[in-house]
Structure formats: C-alpha cells, structure tokens
C-alpha cells in the first residue's frame, strides 16, 4: 500500500523465538510466566505516609523458598514477602536497619544485610547485620570499616563476602576517580546463618587496575563451587578472582572493550538502529558464575563505558562470548527500547541471576532502563535467548528458587508521588503453557530492528480481517509512524511501517493520538496539541505514501479554551458527501462544565465544526478522561479511563454512544449531552493478562474489517513506565 515499508521476517536466531507461535503441546518445554506482582509499599510500617518512597533493590529468598527478603534503601529497611502461595504474595512487614541497606542474602533462617551508615561519601562506614527472619530482630552487627555494596555466600553457606565499595561522589570533581578512601573486599565465616565478627578479613584491591589503581571501587561479588570469588571493579573496568579460603587475589584482568553496531546512538525521538560505537568499555556491574570456570557479567557502565550487553569470560579473562548489541536489539523488537537513553548506555544491563531448573542451566539479564529480563539458556557455548520477561520499572536484583520453579525480580523505581507506578517485586513460575508476553512485536527490516513505542490509536485495514493500523505519539516526535499490525499471528506482529512526512521529510510537531481510514484508503490523523511546546491541535489528511496533503486547524471557538489534553481519537461516520469526522477530547477544557468533555465533529464537505457533551464517570483520585473513539455499526465506542495504575486504578472502561444521538450543535453555544452505555470493563483484563499491575494507558480500540474488536496500551516509550504493551482481542457481546 503506497510507501509502506514492508518488514522482513527476522533472521537472527536470538530473537526468532519472540515471533514464533507460543502454543505448546502437553509435552512441550516449559516457559517462564509472571504469576504475581507485589507492591513494596504494602510493607510500609504503620504511621508512614502511604506515598513514602520505597524500593526493592537486591532480593533473596530463605532456604525453604517460602519468604522473599529485599533491601529497601530509601526506607532504610529490609522487607519481607510471604510466598507460601506464590500466586498470592503477602506483606510480612519491614525491619528498619539503622542505616541504608545495600544488599541482602539469607541462610539458615537468618538474613545477612549489608548496611551503609556513612555520614558522607568522604567518610564511609557500614556494618553487617544478622537478622532472625522469624522474629524480625537484629541479633548482631559486625563493623565493616567502610561502605558496603554487594553481599554473597558460597554454595554451602559457610563463607561470605561483601564488596566494600566506598563509592565515588559524582558531585566531586565531576565524579572522576580516584576518590579516597579506597574500598576493599571483606570475607567472613558463616555458621548456621550467623557470623562471628572476629573472622572478617579484608582483601586489599589497590594496584590492580589501570584506570585508578589506588581507588578500586568494588561493585559486585559472586562465589563459584571452588570457593573462588569473582569481583567486579566497575569504574575501573576490572574483574578480580579471589581465593576465599586464603583471602588472596589469585588473578585479575581487564573487562576490556567491544565494538557495537546496529544500535541507536541518538536521543532524538526516533528509533534508528544503524549506528555504531567503537571500543566501548564494558564496565561490568553484576557478575555470576555459570560453572567453576566461566562467569558472566552485565555491562551496565557507570563511568566512561557501558557496552549495553553481557560477556562470558573464563576465569583467566578469555572472552568466551560477547553479546554485543544482540540483547538490546531483541528488546527493541518488543517495544521496550528507551530512546531517551540512546546517547548514553541504552538498555543498561545491570543485574544478573544464574540457576539450574531441572537439567537446564539459565541465566537472567536485567535491563534497568528497558524494564525487562532476558532469559538465556546456558548451552556451554553460545547462550540461547529463550524469552524476554516484563518486569516493573527498573529491575535491580533477582533471585531464582529452582526448588519451587520460581524466579523473582526486585524493581527499584517508585513513582508514587508523581502518580506513577510504585516499586514492585515480580514473581515468575517455570511451567508448561504459553508465553503470556510479549503480546505484540515488530519484525525486522534488512536484519535491523524497527522497534515501536507508545501505540496510541487503532484503526482497521479495510477489507482485511485481522489487519490493523496503529500510530505512535509524541514519544517518537521525530519519527511519526503508522504501523500495520497482523493480529492473526501470536504474538501479533508489526509487519509494515509508514513514516508521516511533510515536504518529503519526517513531519515534526505532531502528537498523533488517533487514526481513521477513509474510503480512498487515505488516513485522518488526530494530533493532540500542547501550546507550551508549540504543538498545534490539528487534524491531518495523509495519503497512502505517508505525505500530509491537508492540515485542518481547530476553530477559534475551540482553541480559545484549549488545554494540552486534546484530541485522543478520531473516527469517520458516514460516507461520501455525508462523511463526518468525530474526535474525542481527553479532558475538560476551560469552557466545559466539570464532569463533561466534548465529542467534536467536523463535516468534511461543509467544513463545519460542532460538538456534543459526554458525561465522565467520577473518580476519588486522579483525573478521568477519554482515550479513543471508534465507530462500528450503530454506535461509537469510547475508552474512558482514570490516569492511575496498579491497585489505585479503578476506571478503564469502554462505553458506547448511539450514532443516532450524535447531533452536534454549533460551538460556542449550548451543547447537547449524550447518553452512554457500558460495553466492557478492561481492569480485570489489564491485571490478569500477564499478572502484572493494571497499566495506566489503554489508548487504542477498534474493530477490524471482520468485526473483531482489539485494544492496545500506550507504554510511554518506557519513560517512567514498565514499558509493557498489551495488545489483545476484546470479546464484546451483542455489538452492532
């Protein structure tokens, strides 16, 4: 159709699984699916403000796998979650730690917590707290002589280690190292989950790296089965191997650098995976052993590097596998790529977990900025990407519980004070079944990701059941796009893209929130304006090549009272000379009676504007507005929603209004009110589809050419969002 860009089938084996059918026969290989989502704020102590900032950062499990324990730095506590019934986790409370807990592990009914007590980064201090899990009481503390970071225990839980980071102050000397005092590594003996403080030994780490040898900046620790410790010195781009029994450095090596190709390198409101970077320092954060000889590191970067992926080394420093950009590109296929981080460190792989489930060894890569977890099968050679799981906002830590086929992530960002999602612990189970996520992916073109973001409107492809159009909003302001979706596949696949152009170049100053297709196969796009950003409220007529051929500005009777919450959908009623565009305005404008918004009409022949009043449901919290309008049969269907997420979300509904009742009056005068009838409640669908929390923005709805209904959520381009896009059929009864 016109200049639509047809996207080829993906060829990369790492990502091929994401487009494959997710239906599995009874004897098929099991898959990971999220089974529960636990809001960390549920553990806030009595008397604390409900919007107090909380966080789940590093997470562990008790030996029996029935309790999760996470560190909560903003609260200054560790939190406990009862997962006896993993599908219904329960809050067990939080224990204040008299400092900032940075990491936690568990053994024999105890929690071992690394706690930062430093008064400043120039005067670091900290201790190891031993907590009885049953009584929630601190039994003992051991002075660590500095600010701790990561903690780990060996396989039989007789030895422990803590990275004493003494982290740099990014506000001092532009964050450059060295910054004294130097950190080191603490090693201690463990018996029955407790620690004799007199056994703590410190391993000096100065003089090892080439970047700032006097300031090692230890970051993350892990044991192998031979009681060897792998330690990352992130800012120094160094990996150190220590014999835990002798407390001696055995070897160390530079994490080195890698060349990246096929990546997006510009924060510019466009997804273009054709850039490259040479010699990018890996600067690993988390490290895990895959066996006694091989270790995997997550190359987040925190200083001058960050290579956007992960690397497998042997313990001599030989690179056995380099992911390069493959993980980030697979993430982009799911719409989770954060364009706002393109000029920095991309998806930022930060956390890691490794475990054997049954006979299969897995490792899990946590992408902080993309809010996903890559599930890799360790083959002993090149790893195999088997799934990408949705997580909360910014996964930081993870724990596997193979004895129960469970896996959990700790997601650190809490946006409650801004009305956004809270910090959550997400729980997954490995079992036979279908992959619940993703529900929509983008195929690739010429071997490169196309990606997508912020799907904000839907329309049917004429005469092609199962095929839909979608649009992106201002998140891709430099790449306004019309997508073609093949909903007959599972997951649904974006098969074609069309850039909306003005004078041959990608159009700017658009915030496309609605799309409709006319009899000629041309598009009508509704753009939501924002005067503060010089974005006009307007309608655009676009030909099949994506060229804007007409722009219809709003009349002064509307613009005189505009606010930034404008058109959120557009549909066509009638045909030929009788065709009229109808648009839903999201919220009350200045001249609207509280509790009513306008449905605005524009007659394509007479060029006359009109409107009716639409009554909004009431909400005790947040605001309520419209997100879509779509004509079908004798009705228009309208999405009405609040702007709340998770447990706070109450209103995510589909209403219908009889087309016969849409009798617009002239703007500026008294407008008639219409009656609405509830057609569908999305809340349960949004909550149970992937067992996450209820997402804020359900923004697209339409019927395909065969009369089947579909809906989609807007993921905000992963900005202050989990990045999840839900795309699903809607089973409406008695639609006409």
Q: How far apart are CA 640 and CA 624, in angstroms?
A: 7
The confidence score (pLDDT) of residue 10 equals 40
The alpha-helical segments, DSSP class H, found in 436-572 are 556-559
- Which residues of 122-256 form beta strands (DSSP E)? 126-132, 137-143, 148-153, 159-164, 184-191, 194-195, 201-204, 218-223, 228-233, 238-243, 248-254
CB distance 73 to 100 below 8 Å: yes
Q: State residue 20's pLDDT score.
A: 45
Question: What per-residue confidence (pLDDT) applies to 734?
Answer: 60
Nearest by Cα to 78 from 464, 410, 403, 343: 410
Q: What tokens appear for 598 in the block?
A: 């306008």
Token pair of 368 as six digits: 């902080």
Residue by residue, DSSP assigns 685-696 as HHHHSSSSPPPS
Q: Which residues of the chain have pLDDT under 70?
A: 1-2, 5-27, 734-736
**For tokens 């093949």, what's the residue?**
486
CB-based contacts of 592: which residues, under 8 Å, 6+ apart? 561, 598, 613
Peptide bond into 181 cis (omega under 30): yes
Q: What is the residue whose two structure tokens read 């430099």?
A: 478
Compute the distance between CA of residue 347 and CA of residue 372 in angstroms, rounded to an integer: 9
How deeply is 202 buried, as exposed, middle or buried, from its count of CB atoms within 10 A (0-12, 13-18, 19+)? middle
Across the strands, what pairs with 395?
411
Of the candidates 518, 524, 520, the one whose C-alpha atom is nearest the C-alpha of residue 539 is: 524
Give the other-Cβ count within 10 Å of 594's Cβ.
7
Cα 448 to chain centroid, rounded: 21
Pairing of strands 424-431, 406-411: antiparallel
pTM, two decimal places: 0.96
Q: Is 327 helix (H, G, I), strand (E, B) or coil?
A: helix
Could you give the CA distance from residue 369 to residue 306 in angstroms, rounded to a whole number?
A: 13
Distance CA 551, CA 490 (A): 37
Q: Give first-to-last CA distance, the chain, whole Å.
A: 29
Residue 6 neighbours by CB distance under 10 Å: 11
Buried b (16+ CB within 10 A) or exposed e, 69-98: bbbbbebbbbbbbbbeebeebebbbbbebe
d(CA 289, CA 17): 26
DSSP letter (8 states) at residue 265: -
Q: Helices (H), strands (E): how many in the chain?
A: 4, 56
Residue found under tokens 């091929």: 16
**Is the bond preceding 178 in cis, omega lying within 30 degrees of 0?**
yes
Give the closest residue to 375 by CA, choosing from 398, 394, 404, 393.
398
pLDDT computed for residue 735 by the predictor: 55
Distance CA 262, CA 274 (A): 4
Q: What pLDDT, on a 0 to 100 scale, did the predictor assign at position 283? A: 98
Q: Could you count the other beta carbons within 10 Å of the beta carbon of residue 675?
A: 10
Q: What angle do CA 659, 664, 670 make, to 5 degrees?
A: 135
Residue carrying the six token digits 């008790």: 62
CA distances to 225, 313, 494 from 478, rounded to whole Å, are 51, 40, 19
On whether the CB atoms of residues 177 and 235 are closer than 8 A, the answer is yes
pLDDT of residue 736: 55
Pairing outcome for strands 596-603 and 609-615 = antiparallel
| C-alpha to C-alpha distance for 60 and 62, rounded to whole angstroms | 7
Task: List the beta bridge partners of residue 163.
Answer: 185
pLDDT of residue 12: 39
Q: Evaluate whether 672 touches 613 at the Cβ level (below 8 Å).
A: yes
Q: Give bridge partners of residue 605 from the DSSP assignment.
A: none
Q: What is the chain's length? A: 736
| β-bridge partners, 369 | none
Backbone angles phi, psi at 641, to 5 degrees: -150, 160
Question: Is residue 726 within 8 Å of 690, Cβ to Cβ?
Answer: yes
Express each pLDDT in 363-409 by its tens digit.
Answer: 999 999 999 999 999 999 999 999 999 999 999 999 999 999 999 99
Separation CA 139–CA 691 (nearest Å): 37
Measuring CA to CA, how many Å separate 639 from each of 413, 466, 732? 29, 21, 14
């Amino acid at each position: 159709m016109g200049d639509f860009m047809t996207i080829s089938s993906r060829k990369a084996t790492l990502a091929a699984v994401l487009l494959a059918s997710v239906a599995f026969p009874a004897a098929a290989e099991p898959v990971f699916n999220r089974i529960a989502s636990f809001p960390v704020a549920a553990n806030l102590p009595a008397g604390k403000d409900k919007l107090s900032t909380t966080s789940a950062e590093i997470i562990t499990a008790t030996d029996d796998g029935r309790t999760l324990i996470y560190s909560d730095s903003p609260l200054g506590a560790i939190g406990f979650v009862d997962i006896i019934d993993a599908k219904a986790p329960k809050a067990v409370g939080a224990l204040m730690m008299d400092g900032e807990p940075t990491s936690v592990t568990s053994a024999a009914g105890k929690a071992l917590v690394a706690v930062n007590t430093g008064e400043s980064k120039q005067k670091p201090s900290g201790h190891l707290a031993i907590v009885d899990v049953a009584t929630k009481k601190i039994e003992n503390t051991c002075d660590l002589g500095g600010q701790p970071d990561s903690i780990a225990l060996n396989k039989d839980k007789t030895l422990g280690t803590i990275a004493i980071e003494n982290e740099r102050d990014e506000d001092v000397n532009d964050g450059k190292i060295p910054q004294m005092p130097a950190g080191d590594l603490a090693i201690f003996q463990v018996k029955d989950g407790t620690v004799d403080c007199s056994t703590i030994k410190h391993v000096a780490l100065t003089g090892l790296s080439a970047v700032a040898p006097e300031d090692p900046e230890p970051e993350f620790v892990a044991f192998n089965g031979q009681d060897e410790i792998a330690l990352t010195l992130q800012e120094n781009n160094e990996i150190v191997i220590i014999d835990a029994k002798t407390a001696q450095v055995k070897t160390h090596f530079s994490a080195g650098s890698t060349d990246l190709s096929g990546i997006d390198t510009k924060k510019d409101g466009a997804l273009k995976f054709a850039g490259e970077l040479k010699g990018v320092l890996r600067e690993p954060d988390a490290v895990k052993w895959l066996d006694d000889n091989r270790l995997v590191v997550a190359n987040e970067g925190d200083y001058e590097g960050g290579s956007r992926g992960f690397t497998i080394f042997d313990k001599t420093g030989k690179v056995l596998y380099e992911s390069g950009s493959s993980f980030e590109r697979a993430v982009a296929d799911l719409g989770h790529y954060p364009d706002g981080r393109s000029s920095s460190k991309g998806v930022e792989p930060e956390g890691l977990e490794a475990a054997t489930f049954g006979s299969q060894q897995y490792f899990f890569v946590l992408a902080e900025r993309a809010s996903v977890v890559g599930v890799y099968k360790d083959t002993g050679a090149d790893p195999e990407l088997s799934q990408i799981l949705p997580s909360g906002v910014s996964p930081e830590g993870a724990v596997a519980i193979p004895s129960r086929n469970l896996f959990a992530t700790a997601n650190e960002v809490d946006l409650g004070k801004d009305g956004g999602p809270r910090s959550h612990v997400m729980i997954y189970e490995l079992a036979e079944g279908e992959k619940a996520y993703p529900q929509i992916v983008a195929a690739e073109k010429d071997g490169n990701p196309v990606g997508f973001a912020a799907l904000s409107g839907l329309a049917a492809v004429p005469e092609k059941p199962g095929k839909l159009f979608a649009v992106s909003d201002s998140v891709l302001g430099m790449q306004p796009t019309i997508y073609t979706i093949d909903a007959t596949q599972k997951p649904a696949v974006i098969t074609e893209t069309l850039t909306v152009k003005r004078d041959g170049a990608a159009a700017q100053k658009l915030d496309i929130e609605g799309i409709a297709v006319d009899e000629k196969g041309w598009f009508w796009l509704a753009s939501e304006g924002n005067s503060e950003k010089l974005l006009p409220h307007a309608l655009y007529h676009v030909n099949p090549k994506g060229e804007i051929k007409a722009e219809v500005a709003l009349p002064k009777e509307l613009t005189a009272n505009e606010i930034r919450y404008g058109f959120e959908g557009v549909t066509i009623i009638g045909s030929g000379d009788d065709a009229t565009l109808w648009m839903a305005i999201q919220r009350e404008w200045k001249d609207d009676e509280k509790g009513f918004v306008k449905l605005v009409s524009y007659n394509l022949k007479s060029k006359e504007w009109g409107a009716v009043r639409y009554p909004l449901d009431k909400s005790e919290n947040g605001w309520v507005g419209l997100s879509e309008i779509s004509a079908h049969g004798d009705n228009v269907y309208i999405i009405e929603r609040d702007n709340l997420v998770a447990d706070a979300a109450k209103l995510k509904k589909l209403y219908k209004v009889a087309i016969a009742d849409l009798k617009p009056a002239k703007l500026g005068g008294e407008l008639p009110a219409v009656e609405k009838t509830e057609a569908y409640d999305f809340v349960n669908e949004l909550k149970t589809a992937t067992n996450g929390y209820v997402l804020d923005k359900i923004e697209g709805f339409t019927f395909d050419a065969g009369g089947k209904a579909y809906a989609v959520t807007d993921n905000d381009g992963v900005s202050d969002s989990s990045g999840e896009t839900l795309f699903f059929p809607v089973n409406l009864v008695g639609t006409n």
